[in-house]
Amino acid sequence: MQDSRTGRQLTLRHGAHEAVVVELGAALRSYTAGGRAVIDGFAAQDPVTGGRGQILVPWPNRIRDGRYVWEGRELQLPLTEPAAGNAIHGLLRWVPWRVAEEGADRAVLDVELRPQPGYPFHLGVRAEYALGGHGLEVAVTARNLGPDPAPYGFGQHPYVMAGTASVDEAVLTLPARTRLVTDGRGLPVAAEPVAGTEYDLRAPRAVGALRLDTPFGDLERDADGRAVVRLAHPSGALGTDVWLGPGADWVQLYTGDTLPPGERRRAVAVEPMTCPPDAFRSGTGLVGLAPGAHHTVRWGITPWGR
């Protein structure tokens, strides 16, 4: 299917699972399981709003003033969040990716990120989506095609649902020991333990009136090395897990309170990230990608119950 806004629509199916990936930004447009909406996506004919399903490369989240220093060189990115004076969510959200492979339950898209003002580095980026009996797995690989080391970070922006009309009713579990306190520009100013605060979600808890646009770190992982964020229906009968593989050491949760009125608090954006906001300036979690080197991160969505 061809759509003038988001390009080709790649439909993946496996049993009762169906996901759609689009050419524009290699974004995850929709995911259903047994007819239930697993993510709050967007229609084929609609523009992408709120970063829904988008891949955030070569940095997730925000960079203060769009300005950073890399290997002694001062660099200035375009301010793509002008009201807050930030560069936000990377450089590949609004470019078409090439469909490299397309199968019944798997799709691979790739793109070259050419040197440009503020990011004079050359990357090749590949996104693989695979749908199976345990849900959707995503692998994103960046390779440095240029002659110089490049700063790099990854994130992605799915809005997760668990069969409730609003997130207030949903039950959230987040295995994070630390959160970053942010200022009015969404930039971190301090780190603090979640213990004893309303941000301690290590035990299941209804979202209620909690407003989140919050980075979390120090994630607890299972025996497979995965950190699992769970959004469940209050009945406990169904829910959606987002797992973060090794290297995805940070996660941003966003309850959508600043979205347009009809879109607010319908879902929780669970954003796997390799680094926190402003990592190009702080260096926290930032990957220095050497010439010829590559970096891969894996994450996925597992719907469960009926």
Q: 267, 269, 273: which is closest to 245 by C-alpha?
A: 273
Q: Are 29 and 6 in contact (CB under 8 A)?
A: yes
> Which is more confidently placed, 1 or 283?
283
Asked if the model's pLDDT at residue 71 lies above 70, the reply is yes
Cα 39 to Cα 62: distance, rounded to the nearest angstrom? 23
How far is it, in rounded angstroms, from Cα 143 to Cα 141? Answer: 7
pLDDT given at position 306: 78
Backbone angles phi, psi at 73, to 5 degrees: -110, 130
The Cα–Cα gap between 162 and 172 comes to: 10
**DSSP string computed for 79-134:** -SBTTTTEEES-S-TTSBPEEEEE-SSEEEEEEEE--BTTB---EEEEEEEEEETT
User: What letter represents residue 7's amino acid?
Assistant: G
Q: What is the pLDDT of residues 170-222, one digit of tens each?
A: 999 999 999 999 999 999 999 999 999 999 999 999 999 999 999 999 999 99
d(CA 9, CA 4) in angstroms, rounded, equals 11
Backbone angles phi, psi at 194, to 5 degrees: -80, -20
pTM for the full predicted model: 0.96
DSSP letter for 39, please.
B
Ordered by where they begin, the domains of the chain are 2-305 (2.70.98.10)
Query: Two tokens at 53?
Result: 């399903």
Interval 222-234: pLDDT, tens: 999 999 999 999 9
Residue 23: closest CA among 122, 89, 91, 100: 100
* pLDDT value of residue 4: 64
Who contacts 196 (Cβ-Cβ below 8 Å, separation ≥6)?
Answer: none
Kind of pairing between the strands at 171-173 and 67-70: unpaired
For residue range 10-58, list pLDDT tens digits in order: 999 999 999 999 999 999 999 999 999 999 999 999 999 999 999 999 9
How deeply is 173 buried, as exposed, middle or buried, from its count of CB atoms within 10 A (0-12, 13-18, 19+)? middle
Average pLDDT in the chain = 96
pLDDT value at position 1? Answer: 45
CA distance 298 to 290: 20
Predicted pLDDT of residue 33? 97
The residues facing 188 across adjacent strands are 182
Give per-residue pLDDT as tens, 242-299.
999 999 999 999 999 999 999 999 999 999 999 999 999 999 999 999 999 999 999 9
Token pair, residue 160, equals 């997760």
